[in-house]
Amino acid sequence: MKKAFIFISLLFMSNVFAQTIDRFSIDSGGASTAAGNISILYTIGEVQIAERNTATLSISEGFIAPQRIRIRIHPIVFLQGAFTNPNAGEESLMRDDLRIASSILIPTTSPYDSTTCDPSVFTTTGANAIVDWILIELRDENDASNVLVSQSALLQRDGDIVATDGTSAVAINSPSGNYYIAVRHRNHLGILTASTVSLSETVTNLDLSTDINAVIGGALALRAMGNGIFAMYAGDVNSDGSILNTDIASALSASGGINVYAGSDANMDGNILNTDIALIIQPNAGRIQQF
Ligand SMILES: [Ca+2]
Ligand SMILES: [Ca+2]
Ligand SMILES: [Ca+2]
């Protein structure tokens, strides 16, 4: 009789608590990370659904990746167009005419993909002011023609390529390892490292502005600009990897454009004028990308 009472009581209790869900974890391990006053806990073995990233903080939506795969890189490049006729007293810096135009001509969405930045990054002035968007490609160490991942970033006047916050090193979701690295710009010939570069979560500095032998093609890929600085060739108006009559024709047909963000603006001053045509024809016509 006593056993029956206990059994009935258990049945009653199970009904009462049947809809109660306790919060508990079945993870086998984990850790936490913090950025500023935000702390995130994560566990091992969960499925990743989506992520939201800033330069310094990553938040996973729903389930959480047990470990972020991430490398950090700080390339330095110069663009011939923006480095032609530098501002007086600022001969070591590219011009940022597209940024200081009456209405900022640099878009907040990358011309290469859907990456965006906050318009506030264009308020910085001086050596770290933003010149334009630029594209970084990580390529297969065994086949440099195989692009593994590409990422939009921003270029500062002093050549630093930075993340979309305008200041941080570029972070890319890719495993640590050796990569060929290409840097591309919408109206300049791209460049590719002559050898692979070891990348990891620790920031790797990659100066592609002071040694022509650092890139495939050497002087065919980088133009000597004086003072030991080498720049990517300007004038690939149609972004097809060569500077030819088609680029000149495009620039001629767009000539007269004022306050524009356009490939035909070879010297990146926001206007399409004879100076752009001259830049495409005189030093650069006939050049082809070296990879
Ligand atoms: Ca800088
Ligand atoms: Ca072209
Ligand atoms: Ca121009």
Residue 94: pLDDT band with limits 50, 70, 90:
very high
Say how many Å lie between the CA of residue 156 and the centre of ligand 1.
Answer: 6
* 143 and 231, same domain (yes or no): yes
Q: How confident is the model at residue 283 (pLDDT cuts 50, 70, 90)?
A: confident
- pLDDT tens-digit profile of 219-253? 999 999 999 999 999 999 999 999 999 999 999 99
**Are 203 and 165 within one domain?**
yes
Ligand showing the shortest atom-to-Cα distance for residue 186: 2
Same domain, 153 and 42: no
* CA 133 – ligand 1 centroid, Å: 15
| Residue where a domain terminates, one of 67, 93, 126 | 67
DSSP-assigned states of every residue in 77-100: --BHHHHSSPPTT-TTS---HHHH
CA 256 – ligand 3 centroid, Å: 9
Protein residues near ligand 2, an ion, with CB under 5 A: 236, 238, 240, 242, 247
Range of the domain at 118: 71-284
| Distance from residue 77's CA to the centre of ligand 2 (Å) | 20
Phi/psi for 51 (5° steps) reads -135, 150
Highest-confidence segment of 6-10, 44-48, 111-115: 111-115
Residue 9 included in any domain: no
pLDDT digits (tens, 9 = 90+) for 154-171: 999 999 999 999 999 999
Q: How many domains does the chain have?
A: 2
Whether residue 31 is found in the same domain as residue 88:
no
Ligand with smallest separation from the Cα of 239? 2
Quick one: 145 and 171 in the same domain? Answer: yes
Lowest-confidence region among 22-31, 54-63, 135-144, 272-281: 22-31
| Same domain, residue pair 154 and 257 | yes
Question: Tell me, what DSSP letter sits at residue 227?
Answer: T
Ligand nearest to the CA of 169: 1
| Tens digits of residue pLDDT in 188-197 | 999 999 999 9
What is the mean pLDDT of the segment spanning 254-281? 96
The H or E element spanning position 8 is: helix 2-16
The answer to whether residue 121 is domain-embedded is yes
* Cα 253 to Cα 74: distance, rounded to the nearest angstrom: 37
**Same domain flag for 171 and 42:** no
Report how far ligand 2's centroid is from the alpha carbon of 200 (Å): 34
**Does residue 15 lie within any of the structural domains?**
no
| Those residues with Cβ within 8 angstroms of residue 23's Cβ, 6 or more apart along the chain or in another chain | none
Q: How far is the CA of 135 from the centre of ligand 2 (A)?
A: 17
Please report, to the nearest 10 degrees, the dihedral formed by the alpha carbons of residues 236, 240, 246, 251 taken in order. Answer: -40
Domain stop point among 12, 35, 67:
67
